[in-house]
Structure 1
Amino acid sequence: MRKYKIVIAENDEDEQFFMRKGFDETGLFDILAQVRNGDDLLEWLRDNRSTLPDIILSDLNMPGKNGYDVITTLENDPGYTRIPVIITSTSSTKTIMDKCLAIGAAGYLVKPETFIEYKPYVENLHRFIEDRHLVRTAETD
């Protein structure tokens, strides 16, 4: 099973903690960075061009640049268009999900209702990436 490099944008400290715990428990991802919002994410990407992630997981509602901003900014920068952005949120509203996908998100996953459900959430995220072949490999480029 492939292990993916990921950067996570999430502003809630409790969510960050339990999210990291779920990611660490599965061993399916290498977290390159956890940032607090889209502004910090874009700064991290600029500062780490030699170590770009395979996937970006971004919360939708954050102060500063939000998930919508992250999608549109990365979609319009040729240096980052190959990195799939998956939006995550507590909202399961279809119009919000559809908007994210329409502007370029590679996927949309609803956050677990309780913090203890992050391990299955991370496993589901990994399956989602694998099933949709979201990450290019040297063989597919």
Structure 2
Amino acid sequence: MSTKTKIGETTQAAAPSNPQRPVKIVRTASTPAIFAEGISQLAVGFPMSRVVFHKAVELDANTTPPTEVHQVACELVIPTPALVEAAMTILRHMTNAKGLVNSSRAEWTQRVDTILQQLDQTQGMASDTDTQP
């Protein structure tokens, strides 16, 4: 299992295709971090596959029904066996992290609810003072 490294740090991990072979992971200042909200296209072939990631940029209200406009965030061209390994790794990690994800979601939901309640109370007080002479 690998962990996110800071710039200039290296970590050790096992190669997914050969757990006996160590892999050195290096993160540099030029390592991109790309935000994506989803996958727009997936072309699976051999020996390579392509995954197109997108982010939503706007809602085109001039169409019926309104159309969500996606911008390509990046295209990943990857050997198909590596894509299968990545999918398996993601699913395995998500299965292992399910409890943590659920507890974190509950914690953050509670925090947001508390903030919204405080905001409602603050706005209620502001509207009360607005109506006073």
TM-score bucket of the superposed structures, by smaller chain: under 0.3
Going by fraction, where is strand more abundant, 1 or 2? 2
Going by fraction, where is helix more abundant, 1 or 2? 1
User: Given the two structures, how large is their TM-score scaled by the length of structure 1?
Assistant: 0.19
Q: Which structure is larger by alpha-carbon Rg, 1 or 2?
A: 2
